[in-house]
């Protein structure tokens, strides 16, 4: 019997503090930075974002999303045998102990299940899904918790109008399990380190001191141009791999970064905008959390139904990109 992997539960969490464009405009004006709701919306489609409280870490957001996903899946935390967590904002400097291990502890898991972080920035969730799919299909693991979680507000320069208005905090999660019917139909991952300088956090720790930039840097025009190009290509690749046509996609869930990039991808695939799940307006770019946040929203409001085909795709610093085609 052929073994497949399938998504059986989704969950998401946004911290309570909601910051509208108007709120942010007032905050930036106090620092002498001019912006407006119209300026932000016209360039990104973002109207609000959420910020975690100072004592809240990526793992805290992650466990809330994980609990919701476990509940939908009808599983207990100790039913998991693998946790894969995608983040660019781990709980600890240097990334260890891994945030996945922290989540394991906070969920009260006592079965010794494997836990690991994965880093592909905004493509992290797509990468994590692909890794989980391979583990499940190989028979190595059965029930896998995949999480995307970020506290990007911690790495924003609020003197840089071009970036600080775009990002927010949040977490999304899915439960994947072995199945005798197809779930994950195809995945495709890419990276090109030649573009590593257009989106980065280049600071490093040396001798106990920070060297380089402590804040996120982005060349917006370069990222926009590359994202539009690679998202169309990787979507086509994953469709070919699955032996499907774009017309068979029921829902497109792109990385929620910029509404113009998202709309361009849908149009190039020949998909009506009504088939695209959009949540970027309410939480901004939450990096690895953005796709699972949108997926959970569309699952819980009833838009995505059992048996429908969902294409998820993302781009991120590295430069990384990838796509997953799933039958829900």
* Opening angle at CA 150, ends 149 and 154, nearest 5: 160
Which residues participate in catalysis according to the annotation? 122, 255, 285
What are phi and psi for residue 62, nearest 5 degrees?
-60, -40
One pLDDT digit (tens) per residue for the chain, 328 residues: 789 999 999 999 999 999 999 999 999 999 899 999 999 999 999 999 999 999 999 999 999 999 999 999 999 999 999 999 999 999 998 889 999 999 999 999 999 999 999 999 999 999 999 999 999 999 999 999 999 999 999 999 999 999 999 999 999 999 999 999 999 999 999 999 999 999 999 888 888 888 888 899 999 999 999 999 999 999 999 999 999 999 999 999 999 999 999 999 999 999 999 999 999 999 999 999 999 999 999 999 999 999 999 999 999 999 999 999 999 9
**Among 130, 159, 146, CA closest to 80:** 146
Q: Which domains does the chain have, with CATH numbers?
A: 4-180 (3.40.47.10), 185-327 (3.40.47.10)
- Contact present, 63 and 148 (Cβ < 8 Å): no
Enter the pTM of the model. 0.96
Q: Which two tokens mark 112?
A: 């010794």
Radius of gyration of the chain (CA): 19
- Contact present, 294 and 234 (Cβ < 8 Å): no
């Amino acid at each position: 019997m052929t073994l497949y992997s399938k998504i059986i539960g989704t969950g998401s969490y946004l911290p309570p503090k909601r910051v509208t464009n108007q709120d942010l405009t007032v905050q930036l004006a106090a620092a002498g930075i001019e912006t407006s709701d119209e300026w932000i919306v016209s360039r990104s489609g973002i109207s609000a974002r959420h910020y975690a409280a100072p004592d809240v870490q990526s793992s805290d957001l992650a466990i809330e999303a994980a609990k919701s996903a476990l509940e939908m899946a009808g599983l207990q935390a100790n039913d998991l045998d693998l946790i894969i967590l995608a983040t660019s904002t781990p709980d600890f400097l240097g990334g260890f102990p891994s945030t996945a291990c922290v989540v394991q502890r906070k969920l009260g898991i006592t079965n010794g299940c494997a836990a690991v972080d994965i880093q592909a920035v905004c493509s992290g969730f797509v990468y994590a899904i692909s890794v989980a799919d391979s583990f499940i299909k190989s028979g190595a693991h059965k029930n896998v918790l995949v999480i995307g979680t970020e506290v990007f507000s911690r790495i924003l320069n609020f003197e840089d109008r071009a970036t600080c208005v775009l990002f927010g905090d949040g977490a999304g999660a899915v439960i994947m399990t072995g199945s005798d019917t197809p779930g994950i139909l195809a995945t495709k991952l890419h990276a090109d380190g030649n573009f590593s300088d257009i989106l980065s956090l280049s600071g490093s720790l040396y001798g106990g001191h920070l060297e380089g930039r402590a804040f996120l840097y982005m060349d917006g025009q370069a990222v926009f141009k590359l994202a539009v190009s690679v998202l169309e290509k990787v979507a086509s690749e994953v469709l070919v791999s699955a032996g499907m046509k774009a017309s068979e996609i029921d829902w497109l869930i792109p990385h929620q970064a910029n509404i113009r990039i998202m709309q361009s991808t849908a149009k190039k695939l020949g998909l009506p905008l009504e088939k695209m799940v959009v949540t970027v307006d309410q939480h901004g770019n939450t990096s690895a959390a953005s796709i699972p946040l949108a997926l959970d929203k569309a699952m819980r409001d009833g838009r995505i139904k059992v048996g429908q085909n969902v294409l998820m795709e993302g781009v991120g610093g590295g430069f990384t990109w990838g796509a997953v085609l799933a039958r829900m």
